[in-house]
Structures are given as structure tokens and as C-alpha cells.
Amino acid sequence: MAAVMLQGTGSDVGKSVLVAGLCRALTNRGLRVRPFKPQNMSNNAAVTADGGEIGRAQALQALACRTEATVDMNPVLLKPQGDRTSQVIVHGRVQGTTGNHYFRGGRAALLGPVIESYERLRAEADIVVVEGAGSPAEINLRAGDIANMGFARATNVPVILVGDIDRGGVIASLVGTHAVLDRADAAMIAGFIVNKFRGDPRLFDDGVGEIARRTGWRGLGVVPWLAAAALLPAEDAVVLDRRAAGSGRIRIAVPMLPRIANFDDFDPLRLEPEVELMMVPPGQPLAGDAALIIIPGTKATIADLAFVRAQGWDIDIAAHVRRGGRVLGICGGYQMLGQSITDPEGVEGPPGSVAGLGHLPVATRLTATKQLRRIGGTGLGGAAFAGYEIHVGETHHLEPLAPLLACDGLGPDGAVSTDGRIAGCYAHGLFDHREQRAAWLALLGGVSDGADHPARVDAALDEIAAALEDCLDIDAILKIAA
């Protein structure tokens, strides 16, 4: 079966969106398409139907292919939980924790599982669209590489290189990548794409010609700035401070934790006309006039709780509560709202216990076993919801409390304070369901737009696919992949 790999001149050049758009375009042509990313590094994860976890970008790409997400689509997932450590997920399951030694040679041992997954996808598809990670120009990481040229060379998958013109220097980045790659790696690249062009792409015709002349690679198109990409879940937290927040009258504040996880939870709120979603960066206070503060999920609850205190956000939250404000904790944020977090097994670091923020009479014990499951049921006001859990730890009520959620087949989840103003739960994706989102906005004195968020994302994929059909030589890409 055919395959093609999109690699980038750097991180955040738009590879994930282009792969998703290309997957949808090829699917719309009637092909059986599967996405694949050998190695991903992200705390934004998705739960597959069989109870594994993969990068959320690959789950989106599976949606673009109109197929169910599987662990084979992202066989190696690294989830940063400290400056120098990451949790290693292989075929959807935790395999341990790794440090810098992983990038000095430990990756090579995972090439076998990566190729196993790739071959399974090839067997069920007409074409596999592969996404690289970071950049092949990071030649200091070439030894043992499984994410870019190491994978492409091992499987003989042709490469298309993507450059981002919006950040500037796209000619230098593409030509420079050609200059630093060894000859065998450079020979894997069959063409290039210039991404995120604002204005008339014909103005860059000479630039495309110059890149082709200096590299010998074929120009496959100039992709315009895709406004619809803002409707898709982002893979990397680096984009959070660049996403439009809206200007509605209902302010919702979310502190940007260093290890924030599954932050696409808030995309449906960001798109609500009556909401101003404030992603609050370090060094800034949480807005005193916010209607709701949401403490998000995190890959490292104890470390990020210490960060909350170091930023003074704990004081902001306490003042907000005294003023009668509302607070919602999701996953790690729910754990933080309790009385204590105990880590007897050293899951997040040295064994020990820390005091929580003390706004809910619950206590959490971290455990090595990770909970991964899709859930659904009813939540606030009896409104329906659907989402997923992805966490370590068990949270217990210290006194009688109403649960926030009633999960079908699983029972209650989360807790609500006796005055109804503080709540927490383990469910991600809570606001995707329009009925549940409407219930939260009604609680805050607003009215939801009633949009079906998953349908909105699906429509955005079709819009991006149509744009790529117009600006890329997709027939040439199919010939490269053959």
C-alpha cells in the first residue's frame, strides 16, 4: 500500500493540520486512509475505543479519515511530566518514565514496535499519511531517530517537507534543512510545501522557484492561512496564548499550568459568543471579575499545585471564592481543589503528601494504575455529556457531597460543594456536548449558541480539505506516495 510522510522544518509549522486536511481530502476521494505518527510528545491525549491513549492530533486525523482511532496510529507517546522526564506510552499503555537518555539512544529500541504498528495500518489502508515530529534538521538527534528520517529510511516512505512562511525565513529554513541533512536523508525528500501564506500566493512564485533550484525538490503548493484550523484542537500548549479568546460578557479564567493537559477541553467555551475565555499565563493574576475559574488537567498535579502557589493563584482563587465566585476543577484540577494529595508510590516524584487548596472536602491518593476510558451520562442540571477519563489517582469524599456527574454504567463521579459553587470531576470533553455546555452557561447567567462542537470540527476538516484541493498538487502527492 502507498504511504507519504510530512516532516517540518521545525515544530509548530502546521504539520498536524496539513496531515488532517490531507487525510480528509483523500478520504473524500474515496480512498481508505489512515494517519500515523511514529512518536509524539504531547500532554494532549485521546482515549481509543480499546482503552489505550494516543496523541490528540492523531485522534483528530482519524476523525478526518472517518475511522476509529487506534493505538497503532501513534505507537509511541511521550508525556512530559518534568523538565527532564516524560512518561513513555507504547501501544497505548504506560511503559515507564524516561529522562534525557531517551534522546541519546533509548529511542532506537522502540523502532520495532513503531514499524509493527505501521505495517498493521498499511494492511488496512490504500494510503497511510505519516506525520513527523519536530524537524529532521535537528541532526544532533539523528542517531536512534524513530520520528523523522529514521522512520522514513527504515520503511522507505517518501517525505514532503513543510515550511512555515508566517514565522519568516521560509526559504532559509527549507534550503537550510537541505544543507544540513546527509545525502541519504535528503534523498528521501520528494517535494516541499510552503504553509500559512497570507495574501496572494502568486507573490511567492519566485520563492518557490528559488527553493526548488537550491534543493532539487519539487514545489507541491503554497497553502494559505487556514482560518478553519482555529476550530481544531491544538496539539501543543505553545499555541494557547495565540488563540482568540472571544469578547463576551462572561469571563472564564483558566490558569496556564506548566504541564497543562487536554486543554482542548476549553475550545467549545472559547467559541461561545457570550464568553471571554482567558488563558492566564504565568506572571498574571486570575481575573477578579471572572464568573468562573477552571483549574485544568495536568500531567503532574503535585508539581503544578506548587506552581499555582508560587504564582499566587491560590490566593486569587481563595479571594474569588470569598466573593461568591464559582470554581471548576477538571482531572488534576479536581485533585488540587481537595484537602490533600498523597503519592505513596512516588508516581510523580518522591513519595509524600501535600495539602490541596482546601475548597472541596475530598482527598486524592495517586496510584500507578492509569484510568483510561470513555464515559457518558448526565452532569450539571441533568444535562447529557460525553467525554473521557485519563488520569492516575483515586479521589474520595471526606464528607457527604453530591457528585457532579452520573456516568452510565459506572456511577457517580466528582463532587459539588454544599453551596454549589465549587465543583470538580475527572471528565475531559465536558463542554463538547451542547446540552452540558448550555447548562454551565445558564449557571453563569448566559445563553449558549447551541452549536454541536464535534460537528463544527468535522465541518472545519471538510473546509480545510477543500482548500488543500485548491492549493496543493494532490495528484502529484499521490504519485509520490505510490
Rounded CA separation 348/352 (Å): 10
Enzyme catalytic residues = 331, 428
Residue given cell 467559541 in the structure block: 271
Residues in contact with 300: Cβ distance below 8 Å, sequence separation at least 6, in sequence order? 81, 82, 259, 332, 348, 349
